[in-house]
C-alpha cells in the first residue's frame, strides 16, 4: 500500500510539471522577411499580372539537439601500480593498484555475468559439457573466429595453449596456479585447430578446477610474449626434478650427507625456476597488445597512467541484458545472440551497451587518500578508485564538490590481521587466541572510527549471503566482552598455556584501566622477543593504521613487546608475499569470484605456503583437517555440498586463527554526475569493477 501511494504521488507531481511546462512555453522567435510576390489578379474583367512587396513572418525550424560530447575519463588513485607486466600482476606484483591500470588486458574463454555471476562464454562460442574418455576427462571449447588483439592480430587457440603451458611449465606462482593446475590437477591444453581448444583432465573437472579455475584463465598474446618465454625456458631446459624427496628443513644443523646432497639438488632446481620466472615477471611489457577496451600505453611514476581506446575491442557495441528469472542475453553487433539460464521472462534487471566510450582514461596518482578526494571535490578528476574505507569527514569534504554523487554497495572484501605461523610464538594457538580476545573491534569501529566500517568475524563477508555462515559471528565467544573481561580472560588463557610474568597484568577497578604486565616469558622459558605488526600508514589508510596501533597497545598491556610498524603499501609486499619474513601484518583482500570462493584454497591450503610455493598462504597455515575440507570443496560438482564445506571451513578458520578478520566496509563510491555508468548496484561496489572504465560514458558539460 505504501509503495502504491508513493507511485501515485510521483505520478501527480510528474503530471503537474508537464502542465506547468505547457503553460510556460517560450515565445517562438519571429523573423520578418521582405519578399517580392508576383501574382495574377482580375481587374475590370481582365487578368493582369501584379507585383507587390510584402513582409513575411518566418519561424525558423529548431536545430536537432546535439549528441553529448564524450570526453576523457579522469580517475584518481593514490598508489603506484607495481608493474604493467600482466604476468607479474598475477604473480609477485599482485596489487589492487596494478589491477586498476590493467583491467581488461587479458582475454578469456569464459567469464561471469555482471550481476548474477553466472558462468557465461566470452571468446568461447558456447558452454561445452565435459565427457569421459577412458580414465581422463575432456572438454573441447570452440572459439569465436573473428576476435583480435588491439594490434589486429587474431586471437586463436594457439594463444590459449601458449598461456596455459607457460603457466604450467614455469610453475608460475600466486594467482597463476589456479589457471593451469588448480588443486595440483594435471591439465593439458592443445589446439585442435586455430579456433578449438581441447582440455584433458586427470581428475573430474569440478566447480573449483574448471568453472572457477581453468575456464576463467587469462589468455595472453603469443606473438608478443613468445621471445620472452623462450628466454625464460632456457633456464629450465637442462634441469631435471630431483629423484629424492625434498628434506623438510635444509637449515637444520644435524643434516646427514644424503640430506645435504638432496638439499643441494633441490636448491639448484628451485633456483633455475626462480630465474625463469624472474625473467618473465621482470620483462618489459611496453607495446604489448591487449584484448580489452583500453591499452595501458603510458606511465609517468608519481604522476599518471594513461590508457588509450582499443579500436579493435571485440565486444564494442554488444548489448548485455539480464532478467529477473536469471536469464543472461548477449547481442553482438554482427547479429549473434547468446542466451543462457532462462527464457528471458520477468523484469529486465540490467540492459546496457558495451563501450569503450571515452577516448582515453587518465589515472592520476596522488600521494594520499585525502589528496585524491580533494582532487575530486576540486573537479580535477571524475572518480576516485578507493579500495579502502572512507571516513565520514573525508566523505563530507568530497561531497562539497559540484555534481558529486554517492553510491553505496555491500562489500566483497576482508581486512584482517595475519600471523606468521612458521615463527614462535605466532605458531602457538594460545598466542593467537589471546590476540583474538583482546581485540575489541566494536570499540575501535564505534568509538574511534565513528562507525565507518563494520566488525567482521568470519572469513566470508556477509554481503555474499549464499556462502556466508552466520553461526561464526553468532557463536563468537569474545563478542561483547568488557575491557576487564578481555584482559582477565587473555591472562588466564596464556597462564594455562605456560606463559608467566614477573609482574602479571591486572585490572585496576579504581582507575578502570589495566596495570600492564612486565617480564613476560613464553612457555619455553625465554623472554618474549619484540615482534612487529606491519601495516599501511595513516596517509594511505587511516582505518588499518588505527587498528594496528590499538592492537599493539592492547598487546603491550599484556606485557607483550609488540611494535606497530606503519609503512608504505608497496613496502609490505616483499616481506609478506615474496620472502614470508614477518611476524604479523594487517592488510585487506578483494575476494575475487563471488560465485565460487576459491580463495579458501589459495589463502590457507598448506600446499600454497608462500615460503615454499610462492603462493598466497602467507601465514604458512598447515592443518590436515582443513586441507581435507578444501580438497573436497574444490573437487565437488555439487554447489550445495560446496556451500556446506565452505561453512565448515569458516568455522575451523575462526578457531585456528591464521587470520583474525577485523572489519569489512560498506563500499561508498563518490563520482561526478557527468559519468554515465552501465549500472550502479554491484557487490563490491563500482571500485571492484575498476570504475567501469570500458563501459562508462564521461559526458562533457
Q: What is the pLDDT of residue 53?
A: 58
Q: How far is CA 277 from the centre of its chain?
A: 24
Q: What is the pLDDT of residue 39?
A: 57
H-helix or E-strand spanning residue 386: none
Q: What is the pLDDT of residue 3?
A: 33
Q: Which DSSP symbol is given to 524?
A: T
Q: Taking the CA of residue 110 as centre, how many other CA atoms within 13 Å lie in the half-sphere pointing to its CB? A: 22
Q: Can you list the domains of the chain with their CATH numbers?
A: 294-364+376-411+667-698 (no CATH), 413-664 (3.10.105.10)
Sequential DSSP letters for 644-670 = HHHHHHHHHHHHH-SEEEEEE--EEEE
Strand order in the sheet with 328-331: 337-340, 328-331, 319-323, 348-353
Q: What is the pLDDT of residue 1?
A: 31
User: Which pTM was predicted?
Assistant: 0.83
Tens-digit pLDDT profile for residues 248-266: 889 888 889 899 999 999 9
Q: Tell me what percent of the residues of the chain surpass a pLDDT of 70.
A: 90
Q: Which residues of the chain have pLDDT under 50?
A: 1-30
Q: What is the pLDDT of residue 214?
A: 98
Tens-digit pLDDT profile for residues 142-168: 999 999 999 999 999 999 999 999 999
Query: What's the CA gap between 154 and 406, in Å, rounded?
Result: 41
Find residue 138's DSSP bridge partners: 131, 200
Query: What's the CA gap between 241 and 248, in Å, rounded?
Result: 17
Q: What is the pLDDT of residue 570?
A: 85
Amino acid at each position: 500500500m505504501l509503495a502504491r501511494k508513493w507511485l501515485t504521488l510521483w505520478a501527480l507531481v510528474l503530471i503537474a510539471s508537464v502542465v506547468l511546462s505547457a503553460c510556460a512555453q517560450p515565445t517562438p522567435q519571429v523573423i520578418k522577411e521582405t519578399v517580392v510576390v508576383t501574382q495574377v489578379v482580375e481587374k475590370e474583367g481582365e487578368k493582369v499580372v501584379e507585383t507587390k512587396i510584402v513582409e513575411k513572418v518566418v519561424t525558423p525550424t529548431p536545430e536537432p539537439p546535439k549528441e553529448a560530447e564524450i570526453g576523457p575519463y579522469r580517475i584518481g588513485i593514490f598508489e603506484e601500480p607495481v608493474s604493467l607486466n600482466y604476468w607479474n600482476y598475477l604473480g609477485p606484483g599482485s596489487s589492487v593498484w596494478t589491477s586498476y591500470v590493467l583491467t581488461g588486458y587479458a582475454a578469456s574463454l569464459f567469464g561471469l555475468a555482471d550481476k548474477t555471476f553466472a558462468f557465461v562464454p566470452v571468446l568461447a562460442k558456447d558452454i561445452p559439457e565435459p565427457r569421459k574418455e577412458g580414465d581422463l576427462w575432456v572438454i573441447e571449447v570452440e572459439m569465436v573466429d573473428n576476435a583480435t588483439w588491439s594490434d589486429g592480430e587474431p586471437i586463436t587457440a594457439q594463444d590459449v595453449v601458449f598461456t596455459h603451458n607457460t603457466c604450467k611449465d614455469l610453475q608460475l606462482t600466486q594467482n597463476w596456479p589456479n589457471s593451469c593446475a588448480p588443486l595440483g590437477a594435471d591439465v593439458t591444453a592443445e589446439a585442435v585447430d586455430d579456433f578449438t581448444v581441447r582440455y584433458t583432465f586427470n581428475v573430474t573437472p569440478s566447480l573449483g578446477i574448471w568453472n572457477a579455475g581453468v575456464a576463467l584463465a587469462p589468455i595472453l598474446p603469443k606473438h608478443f610474449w613468445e621471445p620472452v618465454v623462450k628466454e625464460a625456458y632456457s633456464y629450465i631446459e637442462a634441469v631435471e626434478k630431483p629423484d629424492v624427496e625434498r628434506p623438510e628443513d635444509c637449515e637444520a644443523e644435524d643434516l646427514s650427507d644424503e640430506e645435504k646432497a638432496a638439499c643441494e639438488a633441490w636448491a639448484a632446481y628451485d633456483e633455475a625456476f626462480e630465474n625463469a620466472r624472474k625473467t618473465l615477471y621482470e620483462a618489459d611489457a611496453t607495446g604489448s597488445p591487449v584484448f580489452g577496451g583500453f591499452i595501458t600505453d603510458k606511465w609517468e611514476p608519481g604522476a599518471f597512467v594513461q590508457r588509450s581506446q582499443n579500436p579493435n575491442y571485440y565486444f564494442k557495441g554488444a548489448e548485455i541484458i539480464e532478467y529477473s528469472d536469471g536469464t543472461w542475453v548477449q547481442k553482438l553487433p554482427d547479429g549473434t545472440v547468446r542466451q543462457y539460464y532462462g527464457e528471458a521472462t520477468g523484469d529486465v534487471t540490467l540492459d546496457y551497451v558495451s563501450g569503450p566510450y571515452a577516448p582515453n582514461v587518465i589515472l592520476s596518482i596522488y600521494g594520499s587518500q585525502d589528496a585524491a578526494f580533494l582532487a575530486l571535490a576540486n573537479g580535477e578528476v571524475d572518480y576516485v578508485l578507493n579500495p579502502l574505507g572512507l571516513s565520514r569527514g573525508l566523505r563530507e569534504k568530497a561531497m562539497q564538490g559540484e555534481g558529486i554523487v554517492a553510491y553505496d554497495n555491500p562489500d566483497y572484501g576482508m581486512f584482517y590481521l595475519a600471523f606468521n605461523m612458521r615463527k614462535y610464538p605466532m605458531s602457538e594457538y594460545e598466542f593467537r587466541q589471546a590476540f583474538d580476545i583482546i581485540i575489541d573491534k566494536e570499540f575501535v569501529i564505534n568509538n574511534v572510527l565513528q562507525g565507518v566500517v563494520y566488525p567482521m568475524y568470519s572469513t566470508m563477508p556477509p554481503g555474499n549471503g549464499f556462502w556466508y555462515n552466520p553461526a561464526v559471528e553468532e557463536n563468537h565467544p569474545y563478542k561483547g566482552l568488557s575491557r576487564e573481561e578481555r584482559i582477565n580472560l587473555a591472562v588466564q588463557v596464556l597462564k594455562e598455556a605456560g606463559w608467566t610474568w614477573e609482574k602479571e597484568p591486572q585490572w585496576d577497578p579504581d582507575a578502570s584501566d589495566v596495570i600492564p604486565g612486565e617480564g613476560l616469558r613464553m612457555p619455553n622459558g625465554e623472554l618474549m622477543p619484540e615482534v612487529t605488526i606491519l601495516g599501511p600508514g595513516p596517509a594511505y589508510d587511516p582505518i588499518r593504521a588505527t587498528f594496528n596501533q590499538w592492537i599493539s597497545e592492547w598487546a603491550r598491556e599484556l606485557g607483550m613487546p609488540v611494535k606497530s610498524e606503519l609503512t608504505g603499501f608497496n613496502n609490505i609486499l616483499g616481506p609478506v608475499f615474496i620472502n614470508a619474513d614477518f611476524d604479523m601484518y594487517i592488510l585487506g583482500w578483494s575476494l575475487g569470484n563471488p560465485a565460487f570462493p576459491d580463495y579458501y584454497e589459495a589463502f590457507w591450503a598448506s600446499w600454497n605456503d608462500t615460503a615454499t610455493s610462492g603462493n598466497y598462504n602467507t601465514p604458512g597455515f598447515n592443518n590436515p583437517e582443513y586441507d581435507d575440507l578444501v580438497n573436497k570443496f574444490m573437487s565437488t560438482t555439487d554447489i550445495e555440498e560446496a556451500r556446506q564445506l565452505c561453512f565448515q571451513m569458516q568455522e575451523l578458520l575462526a578457531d585456528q586463527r591464521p587470520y583474525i578478520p577485523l572489519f569489512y566496509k560498506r563500499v561508498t563510491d563518490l563520482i561526478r554526475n557527468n559519468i554515465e555508468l552501465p549500472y550502479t548496484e554491484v557487490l563490491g561496489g563500482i571500485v571492484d569493477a575498476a570504475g567501469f572504465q570500458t563501459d562508462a560514458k564521461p559526458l562533457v558539460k
